[in-house]
A = this chain, B = another copy of it.
């Protein structure tokens, strides 16, 4: 029979178990932190009616959608977790407690041209808080959650960059270039990536005159401490309502952030951050690892008005963040920040010396499991050497060997696969040792 090559499509990540364990641990940390802040889980279909998912999508997004017909239905795969969240809140509006805090961790799909580190299927780990006139205090809480997560994930020092889109929008309004707002935002968002000269070039291309380009550059390169930046912004004396409301919000967030978390050296105002997406309307966040700026933002988000406007009369505003964990995982591996596990989830392999020792071996395995020690049992009828080879390949750190003597003495021989050390002890003693390890 002709064999079929067992390949997967480009742009889809698939891991060996040792990496999958690492990946799952990151997701578990994120999930536990979200839950610790009172966020509740939801899970939405991967397939939805195209009319729902694409209500506001256009241009680039729409081209990337996996969309097809089945019978009468025009179906799309979700491309983010935000649109399904808006639909979920609208659908269940009368059954939710507001402010509604939810987390969702799941796969999304974008049919991009595949390239290194770009995925067509990837996990997003999102939280959002949503309510009518949601308090600005949640803009302060959200970065403290980002802080907790990346402290726990332990990839080194990081910076949470904060800005407010109202400041940018008000400023452009003052320069009478509001009609070019989305183009300008798109361009200045790339400052770190492409540099000042390229930014000037691109701004000229959309017909901004030199004087205004200079004002834009002076503005987005305002530096100093967070307090100095706020002070410099105020001194610009811009009489624009949107601008001043943005500065006040930013000041509130920055000056209160220390109260939400003891260490406010992790937070930095960055006036170039605009976020690509059109729907952010206030505070925006990006997060970078200080030692690996080339990784780009590893956690982004912000505040938006009226997320549910396509489905609901009620005006609900919210704030959220998203961690694109698939791409992050790929980059962390590439940069050598994380490495495949040297140990597996399984702590012990119980090895019956011969087939007669299976029942006693199973008894030992059961006791280990009852003590929350993940325990594999080797049940193939193979040579002793093959059994130890399996433990090595599977990266299991301890092997419990059960032979005739062990059974007679009601004991177990335990071998540390790293050091080679081998001792014979009572089951109780082994449980004690392994639980401490």
Contacts and interface: CB of A to CB of B under 8 A. Distances in A.
B21 A43 contact: no
B137 A358 contact: yes
Contacts of A51: 4
B87 A346 contact: no
A362 interface: yes
A14 to B, nearest CB: 6
B346 A40 contact: yes
A36 B369 contact: yes
A362 B2 CA distance: 65
Contacts of A37: 369, 374-376
A9 interface: yes
A135 B66 CA distance: 43
Interface string A78-105: 0000000011101110011111011000
A36 B312 CA distance: 46
A45 B108 CA distance: 11
Contact of A52 (B7, B92, B261, B346): B7
A206 interface: no
Interface string A302-330: 00000001111100000000000000000
A40 B14 contact: no
Copies in the complex: 2
A8 interface: yes
A6 B312 contact: yes
A75 interface: yes
A69 B372 CA distance: 47
A9 B73 contact: yes
A362 B43 contact: no
A332 interface: no
Contacts of A88: 6, 14
Interface in A383-398: 390, 393-394, 396
Contact of A313 (B3, B101, B259, B311): B3
A345 interface: yes
Given A12-B47, A38-B349, A40-B17, A379 B135 contact: yes
B375 A9 contact: no
A37 to B, nearest CB: 7
Contacts of A259: 358-359, 362
A381 interface: yes
Contacts of A12: 45, 47
Interface in A339-398: 344-346, 349, 358-359, 362, 366, 369, 372, 374-377, 379-381, 390, 393-394, 396
Interface residues of A, number: 94
Contacts of A135: 379-381
Nearest to A48: B8
A48 B17 CA distance: 20
A3 B286 CA distance: 32
A20 interface: yes
A36 to B, nearest CB: 5
A343 to B, nearest CB: 12
Interface in A9-26: 9, 12, 14-17, 20-21, 23-24
A311 B6 contact: yes
Contact of A9 (B21, B49, B310): B49
Given A16-B95, A97-B394, A121 B47 contact: yes
A288 interface: no
Contacts of A155: none
A161 interface: no
A91 B380 contact: no
A166 interface: no
A53 B99 CA distance: 43
The 3 closest A-B pairs by CB, nearest first: A38-B376, A68-B68, A137-B379
6 contacts: A4-B51, A14-B88, A16-B92, A46-B46, A47-B109, A70-B111
Given A1-B309, A37-B374, 10 more contacts: A6-B312, A14-B42, A21-B41, A36-B375, A38-B375, A40-B344, A40-B345, A46-B121, A101-B376, A138-B379
